Chains A and B, each alone.
Chain A
Amino acid sequence: MKLPKIREIGEAVKALMFGPYTSKFPAEQPAIPDGFRGKPQFYEDDCVGCLACVEVCPSRAIEYVDDKKNKLRTLTHHQDICIFCQQCEKACITEKGIMLTKEWDLATYDRSKSITQSRKELVICQNCGEIVAPLDHLKFLAKKVGHLLYANPTLLLARHDELKLLEKEMPLESPHKRSGHLKFLCPNCRREMILKEQW
């Protein structure tokens, strides 16, 4: 009977001398170690809108909306659905487009505000209006494949756009004219254009 009491008294004395073990939370912020998996953040400059993060997300916390009219792709990451698994960061093709921060205090009253977004300009097929890819994605690929991009008209055009060699508003005369080679076309239209080519 006596021994346990002595232990408890020892603990009480320790608490009196050094204060309680618990941290004084709101006044004293906890130390966050490196590699902590906090709130994911989109970095629009490095994100290319390739949707790799959407593909791997286990909880489907990232949604995307394609607006063909305004040529805009919006990627939205919802923190209230996110499970902070870091798969999006690991899948990111530029490795910097979406990264986990050390931010952990995410409690909020308004769910609609707990989001982070990335907006990307889309390249639209000049013949049928289908989505080809985000422009930044094409530019990223063009850089990545190097001189091989001359084998692919879409990548070549993206590269030219980056070098400001492209006259953007040049209309497509006819889908089957040879000049269609150097236009942004979706894979279907490009195939058709090559097969039914007119001189």
Chain B
Amino acid sequence: MARKERIIPIGPFHPLLEEPEYFKFYVEGEKVIDADVRIGYNHRGIEKLAESKTYEQDAFLVERICGICSTSHPFAFVQAAEDVSGIQVPERANYIRTIIGELERIHSHLLWVGLAGHFIGYNTVFMWAWKYREPVLDMFEAISGNRNHYGMFKVGGVRRDIKEQDVPGLLKAIDEVEKFCSMITKAVIDDPVIHARTKGIGILKKQDAIDLCVVGPVARASGVAIDVRKDHPYAAYDRISFDKIVMQDGDVFSKAAVRLLETIESVKIIRQCLKNMPAGPIDAEIRDIGIGDGIGTHEAPRGEVIHFVRSNGSNYPERHKIRAPSFMNVPSFKKTVIGQSISDAALITAAVDPCYCCTERMAVVDKDTNNVLMTGEDLVRLCQEKTEKIRGDRIS
């Protein structure tokens, strides 16, 4: 072996969260010189399974694709099914869908902010973010009856109405989230340690972002202005004013900033929805899907999710195709991590926002002896120690 390189495998799978990946780092000393990204583990056969269930049941099935952004898949799926024969959804249902989608974006982004804080050893941010996420989950419980798998979406409308008595609690929860996000955004901008850890780390250039077709916050942080909510408005997004957050740098700092600012936009969207929400039915009571093809898209917290449904007139889809956003975002890891130090690797992985479970299963393995030198916990510790070091240097 000419080069003194070591391989760090990450993964491959943890069956609890969305998409298992397998990363293999080739390391020379501290520096990552090559990365190998493999996906496709834990095949659950959901597309095939969807063909054996009715449209009503599929809405629940696709909700279980992802644990964190669980509404994004039914959101896209019901739109695909409605697209087959141009079913019109009642106006109130459109607003409720928008509110649920944005509430989910808030809780998903707060979860990410918390975990990113944990990775750089800023555990106060972790505790803060999860504290303010809690009222959002409580509101989900009050509105839909469940904290995470809401089961709100059905073809032709929504299953539950947002009751009048839930509105004050909802407004209070999102007010707190907005206050927190403004505070944490300021804290991120103020804190030189966070700057040192995230600025210029794991840069994804704009051209690379376009070449790799990344979506969502990862693309918007690299200066690619794509957002399905603005580009192809659906539900109630065309009647609501909000900004598309785009940053130019493409580093971890931009990705964090995009997510934080987007959370504040989501709060604005929910406020407008609650204000403008008309009264009326919440369900079109569809009897027949029709014959043909349908495509539904939704801007999930991690990016654009696409569902394709082909209907043959029965109440089972003939073909159901799903493209999840992390599928597009994970390969960008190969561009961002090369040349960075191994202590930043965990943070860069986290910045793409795939499932964190993968990073927990990291291990550094000696290529010759196959001995495990480092586990995932060690890598997170390494990442946190670097922050401590920077912090120490600044104080002294």
Contacts and interface: CB of A to CB of B under 8 A. Distances in A.
Contacts, number: 53
A104 to B, nearest CB: 10
B261 to A, nearest CB: 19
Interface in B159-217: 159-160, 183, 186-187, 190-193
A11 B128 CA distance: 9
Interface of B: 53, 56-58, 60-61, 64, 124, 128, 131, 134, 138, 141-142, 145-146, 149, 151, 159-160, 183, 186-187, 190-193, 394
B307 to A, nearest CB: 17
B141 A33 contact: yes
Decide if the interface of chain A is mainly helix, strand, loop or mixed: loop
B190 A33 contact: no
Nearest to B163: A35
B72 to A, nearest CB: 18
- 4 smallest CB-CB distances across A and B, nearest first, come from A58-B57, A37-B145, A58-B60, A33-B142
A84 to B, nearest CB: 7
A117 interface: no
B145 A86 contact: yes
Interface string A20-51: 01000000000001011100000000000000
Contacts of A4: 187, 190-191
Interface residues of A, number: 20
Contacts of A8: 124
Contacts of B138: 33
Interface string A53-76: 000111100000000000000000
Contacts of A1: 191-193, 394
A52 interface: no
A126 interface: no
Interface in A67-109: 83-87
A35 B142 contact: yes
Given A1-B394, A21-B131, A85-B151, A35 B56 contact: no
With most chain B CB atoms within 10 A of its CB, the pick from A1, A33, A58 is: A58
Nearest to A21: B131
Contacts of A33: 138, 141-142, 145
